[in-house]
Amino acid sequence: MSATLCAFILTFSTLCGPRVVSGVLSQPTNVRLTSYNMNLVLRWDPPEGPASGLVYTTEYRSTALGYVTACVNISYCECDITALSKSISQYGKYFGRVRAHLGAESSDWVESHPITLDKYTTIGSPNVSLFSNGAMIEVSIKDPVFTVSTLRNVYNYATYNITYWKDGQEGKVKSLTNLQQNRVVLSDVEVWTKYCVQVQIYTQRSSSPGEASTPVCESTTNREQVPWVAAVVTFVVMVVVVTLVVVAVVYRKNISHFLCPKDSLPQHFKEYLLAPPNSSTYIAMWNSQPPEEIYDPVSIIADDSTVEEGRPLKAAGTSCSKQPDITAGET
């Protein structure tokens, strides 16, 4: 009889999935606190068996304070604590815990291992830009953005390791280590050659180096460029423009009066300009009458003896021009 009862209990437990005979849900598994760029996120895996309808509640605490509620009744297996709390310290040591709910039933709390942010956070990759300056390449590095504080505030001695190589020759790399400046010039490069650069951040307190940046590439030339010339010209132009704007704003009234004067001419100027000229020659010409035109009448009389009847004057003139001249010898 006892063997039959034990077999029934085992079969019931298997069919019920995450529930146990006592009615308590199975616990979440693989509970862990993680940190990336100084955030604090609690993650876990769901209990074994069917997880339909499960929700979770999470809490966190530091070594100085007790547990504080974070995410409540969430269905996904992740809780970003830094998004809910502004009291997270970059040097704090934290614990997290989670439990599952299904209706009125709840699992036991499962606590994570502690994590110290500045020691165990994963530092993301920096942003790297390259600028070609003739036969040199300038590397510009921008630190990753932290959720809590900044890289330089958390790590006083953070350095960069720069690795660079000719494009297509990843096996022959060169390195510059323990650099603190965020602008570095690579001078030992060949002209007319394409180089690729990768940067990684190292700190003394972090347990592991930061993530390496995505390789970026740039080509050199054989001619030294002067990028500062463009910067100086731009600065001068901006100074002139700003100066003109300031002068226009400060002296706008004077400029307006100069361009559009509101003062009228004195009355004696107006009288002088509007008065008629008093020159004797002008007055004589203005008052003189137009001269009388003298002409003699002219009358044109045609000679009847040279005009033949019934012919026009032009034809008669032509026939007359054909008459032979009578000279004195013929008479």
pLDDT digits (tens, 9 = 90+) for 10-44: 344 444 444 443 457 899 999 999 999 999 999 99
Q: 156 and 94 share a domain?
A: no
- Are 182 and 232 part of one and the same domain? no
Whether 203 is in a domain gets the answer: yes
Amino acid letter for position 201: I
Average pLDDT, the chain: 81
What is the per-residue pLDDT across 197-231, written as a single tens digit (0 to 9) for each? Answer: 999 999 988 878 999 999 999 999 876 555 566 67
Residue 297 lies in a domain: no
pLDDT at 296: 74
Residue 40 — φ and ψ, nearest 5°? Answer: -135, 110
pLDDT given at position 121: 96
Residue that is last in its domain, among 267, 286, 305: 286
Asked whether residue 304 is assigned to any structural domain, the reply reads no
Indicate if 138 and 102 belong to the same structural domain.
no
Residue 138 lies in a domain: yes
Same domain, 49 and 106: yes
- 264 is a domain residue: yes
Helices (H), 29-126: 117-120
Comparison of pLDDT for 260 and 159, the residue scoring more: 159
| Residue 308 forms part of a structural domain | no
Provide the pLDDT for residue 167: 93
Same domain? 71 vs 96: yes
Of the candidates 120, 146, 181, which is a domain's last residue? Answer: 120
The pLDDT of residue 245 is 87
**Of 286, 302, 324, which residue is a domain's last?**
286
Quick one: 212 and 259 in the same domain?
no
pTM, full prediction = 0.60
- Taking only the tens place, the pLDDT of each residue in 237-270 is 899 999 988 888 887 777 776 667 666 667 766 6
Does some domain include residue 20? Answer: yes
What CATH number corresponds to the domain at position 30?
Answer: 2.60.40.10
- pLDDT band per the 50, 70, 90 thresholds, residue 155: very high
Same domain flag for 138 and 87? no
**Structural domain of 248:** 227-286
Both 18 and 114 in one domain: the answer is yes
- Is it the case that residue 329 has pLDDT exceeding 80? no
Buried b (16+ CB within 10 A) or exposed e, 105-140: eebeebebeebbbbebbbbbebebebebbebbbbbe
**Do 205 and 277 share a domain, yes or no?**
no
User: Which of these, 89, 80, 84, lies nearest to 117 by C-alpha position?
Assistant: 89
pLDDT at 251 (0 to 100): 78
Number of domains comprising the chain: 3
Please indicate whether residue 88 or residue 325 has the higher confidence score (pLDDT): 88
Q: What is the pLDDT of residue 6?
A: 41
The torsion of the CA quartet 73, 78, 83, 85, rounded to 10 degrees, works out to 70
What DSSP assignment string belongs to 277-300? P--HHHHHHHHPPPPPP-------
Query: What is residue 35's DSSP assignment?
Result: -
**With 80 as the cut, is the pLDDT of residue 181 above it?**
yes
Is 170 found in the same domain as 103? Answer: no
For residue 56, give the 3-state DSSP assignment. Answer: strand
